[in-house]
């Protein structure tokens, strides 16, 4: 899928810590070349760890997007992971990743439990710490995209977890250049992103409909103006009349949702995820206990 999205002029690098998975992935290169009509492969697979990207050969400021699915929770040194990704990204780039987060600082007895660690719960980051670590490294404030409550269907594990709750959440972290602070403004989505011509679900707080003016806060304006999305939006000062649009949706006075637990609880579509007989981590594993 990523191979097709970036096109023949783009490039995708896949990283896995195991040699076996890297070798298996390489066997599909010719298949995708033929399927998409490419003259040469646009994917490279390397063996390495997400907290050691430079050591694996990933060059600084060489990628537009880094995507991760339930990997950070399995790495003890979370700050190093984000630091390595930050170094690998170009200015204007982003880390788009799903992982498990805890409602409080995870106690040591949960961290050291082998089953809970394997289910991505033991290594879960306290959700408030994500913003602290990310901004210390240089990222903008995390943009919450989706969230789902995780349930544990096991009495023994429930007794160990106690009051700690877990959620599977997707965040976007943007690395922006050092520029003048952006101002609150109106933006109009031009509808130019393939597959999202009618609307663009940016995160849990903003969905941009093609041709409709939306008032955004300073932080959102900065992200849109200084990332790959800049060419897909029209920016105008607040209060400007835009005759070509279908109206304006003003920024509501309510707080922007940043708490994944709040988002999960408020969503009518949330369906708790769990692994039968075990914990309910986001890694797609099923373990009996």
| Core vs surface per residue 118-142: b (16+ CB within 10 A) or e | bbbbbbbbebeebbebbeebebbbb
The CATH number that applies at residue 192 is: 3.40.5.100
Range of the structural domain that residue 226 is part of: 185-249
The CATH number that applies at residue 88 is: 3.40.50.150
Whether 152 has a pLDDT exceeding 50, the answer reads yes
Which residue, among 25, 12, 17, has the nearest Cα to 64 in the 3D structure?
A: 12
Question: CA-to-CA distance for 163 and 271, rounded, in angstroms?
Answer: 20
Task: Average the pLDDT over 152-164 and give the result.
Answer: 93
Same domain flag for 123 and 150: yes
In a domain, 213, yes or no: yes
Q: Which residues contact 244 (CB under 8 A, 6 or more apart)?
A: 188, 211
Same domain flag for 8 and 89: no
Overall domain count for the chain = 3
- Cα separation values, 19 from 1, 23, 24, 46, 100, Å: 22, 6, 9, 8, 26
Same domain flag for 111 and 215: no
Whether 285 has a pLDDT exceeding 50, the answer reads no
Same domain flag for 241 and 200: yes
In a domain, 96, yes or no: yes
Same domain flag for 154 and 67: yes
Same domain flag for 198 and 133: no
Whether 276 has a pLDDT exceeding 50, the answer reads no
For the chain, the distance separating the N- and C-terminal CA atoms, rounded to the nearest angstrom, is 35
Weakest mean pLDDT among 13-22, 181-190, 216-225: 13-22
Task: Average the pLDDT over 141-148 and give the result.
Answer: 97
Q: Which residues contact 62 (CB under 8 A, 6 or more apart)?
A: 88, 90
6/188: higher pLDDT: 188
Which residue, among 201, 179, 6, 8, has the nearest Cα to 91 in the 3D structure?
A: 179
Which of the residue ranges 98-102, 148-152, 180-184 has the most confident prediction, judged by mean pLDDT?
98-102
Question: CA-to-CA distance for 228 and 183, rounded, in angstroms?
Answer: 19
pLDDT digits (tens, 9 = 90+) for 53-81: 999 999 999 999 999 999 999 999 999 99
Question: CA-to-CA distance for 163 and 180, rounded, in angstroms?
Answer: 43
Same domain flag for 88 and 127: yes
Which residue, among 289, 16, 54, 63, has the nearest Cα to 154 in the 3D structure?
A: 289
Task: List, in sequence order, every residue forming a beta bridge with 89; answer none if it has no partner.
Answer: 63
Same domain flag for 273 and 224: no
CB 52 within 8 A of CB 88: no
Q: Residue 34: what pLDDT?
A: 79
Same domain flag for 68 and 124: yes
In a domain, 53, yes or no: no
- Contacts of 175-178 with CB under 8 Å at 24 or more apart are 175/86, 175/89, 175/90, 175/91, 175/92, 175/93, 175/94, 175/95, 175/138, 175/139, 175/140, 176/91, 176/92, 176/140, 176/222, 176/223, 176/226, 176/227, 177/91, 177/92, 177/226
- pLDDT tier, 10 (very low <50, low <70, confident <90, very high otherwise): confident
Same domain flag for 219 and 261: no
Percent of residues, the chain, with pLDDT higher than 90: 66
Same domain flag for 107 and 198: no
Same domain flag for 237 and 264: no
- Cα separation values, 23 from 29, 42, 68, 136, 256, Å: 11, 16, 20, 36, 44
Q: Residue 278: what pLDDT?
A: 47
274/34: higher pLDDT: 34
Question: CA-to-CA distance for 219 and 32, rounded, in angstroms?
Answer: 39
Question: CA-to-CA distance for 283 and 36, rounded, in angstroms?
Answer: 29
In a domain, 54, yes or no: no
pTM here is 0.86
Task: Average the pLDDT over 189-199 and give the result.
Answer: 94
Question: CA-to-CA distance for 191 and 137, rounded, in angstroms?
Answer: 33
In a domain, 222, yes or no: yes
Whether 284 has a pLDDT exceeding 50, the answer reads no
């Amino acid at each position: 899928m990523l191979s097709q999205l970036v096109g023949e002029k783009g490039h995708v690098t896949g990283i896995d810590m195991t040699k076996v998975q890297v070798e298996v992935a390489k066997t599909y290169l010719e298949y995708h070349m033929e399927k998409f009509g490419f003259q040469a492969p646009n994917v490279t697979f390397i063996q390495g760890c997400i907290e050691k990207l430079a050591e694996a050969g990933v060059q600084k400021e060489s990628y537009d997007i880094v995507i991760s699915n339930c990997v950070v929770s399995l790495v003890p040194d979370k700050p190093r992971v984000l630091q390595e990704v930050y170094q690998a990204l170009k200015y204007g780039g982003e880390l788009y990743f799903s992982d498990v987060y805890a409602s409080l600082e995870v106690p040591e007895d949960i961290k050291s439990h082998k089953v809970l660690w394997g289910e991505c719960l033991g290594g879960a980051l306290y959700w408030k710490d994500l913003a602290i670590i990310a901004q210390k490294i240089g990222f903008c404030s995390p943009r919450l995209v989706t969230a789902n409550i995780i349930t544990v269907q096991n009495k023994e594990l429930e007794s160990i977890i106690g009051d700690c709750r877990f959620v599977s959440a997707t965040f976007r972290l943007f690395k922006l250049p050092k520029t003048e602070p952006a101002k609150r403004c109106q933006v109009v989505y031009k509808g130019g992103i393939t597959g999202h011509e009618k609307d663009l679900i940016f995160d849990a707080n903003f969905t941009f409909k093609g041709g409709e003016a939306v008032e955004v806060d300073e932080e959102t304006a900065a992200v849109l103006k200084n990332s790959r999305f800049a060419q897909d939006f029209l920016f105008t000062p607040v209060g400007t009349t835009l005759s070509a649009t279908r109206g304006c949706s003003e920024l509501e006075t309510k707080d922007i949702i940043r708490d994944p637990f709040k988002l999960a609880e408020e969503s009518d579509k949330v369906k708790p995820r769990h692994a039968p007989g075990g914990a309910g981590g986001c890694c797609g594993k099923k373990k009996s206990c």
